[in-house]
Amino acid sequence: MKMEKWDLYNAKREKSGITVCRGEIIPKGLYHLSVSAWIVNQQGQYLLSQRHPKKQYPLYWECTGGSVLSGETSLQGAIREVKEELGILLTPGSEKLIYQTRRENVQDFYDVWLFYRDIKIEEMRLQETEVVDVQWVSSDKLFEMFRLKQLHPLITYVDQLIG
């Protein structure tokens, strides 16, 4: 498996010219770029995937996401992650950047994208080491799962997602 390389950014989100490999310590004052991609269908349902039991936060539900690779934009990283984890090919055009923050505890800039796409669960090709299940849920069900702490703990912005 190829080692993931990340570009590092300063506190103003400017590329620093430094790259690190996943797992290496990120120097203080620098950040990598992480993304999440929410997919909504025509019924207004949100696609959730369930994390593999051997990953950190095992079996929590989440949207697809991960780290942006060196040379990629935030949007390119989101599209790649969805392809890798769910086998869904998204094309840029209808996406919307709905949330951005800098998280000091994990030293990243975190971008959340929203895509509109109808796809049947049977058509998805789950990455076995990452995802064990998927489901479409209504916004009410999503809020309920958030309230019951069934979503990944870093998903703290559900109100902006549905808002």
CA 117 vs. chain centroid, Å, equals 16
Question: What distance in Å separates the CA atoms of residue 144 and residue 66, rounded to the nearest whole number?
Answer: 24
Name the CATH superfamily, with its identifier, for domain 5-162.
Nucleoside Triphosphate Pyrophosphohydrolase (3.90.79.10)
Q: Residue 132: pLDDT above 70? A: yes
Range 19-36 average pLDDT: 97
Cα dist from 161 to 128, 143, 155, whole Å: 27, 10, 10
pLDDT tier at 1 (50, 70, 90 boundaries)?
Answer: low
pTM: 0.93
Q: Indicate the domain borders of the chain.
A: 5-162
Q: Residue 67: pLDDT above 70? A: yes
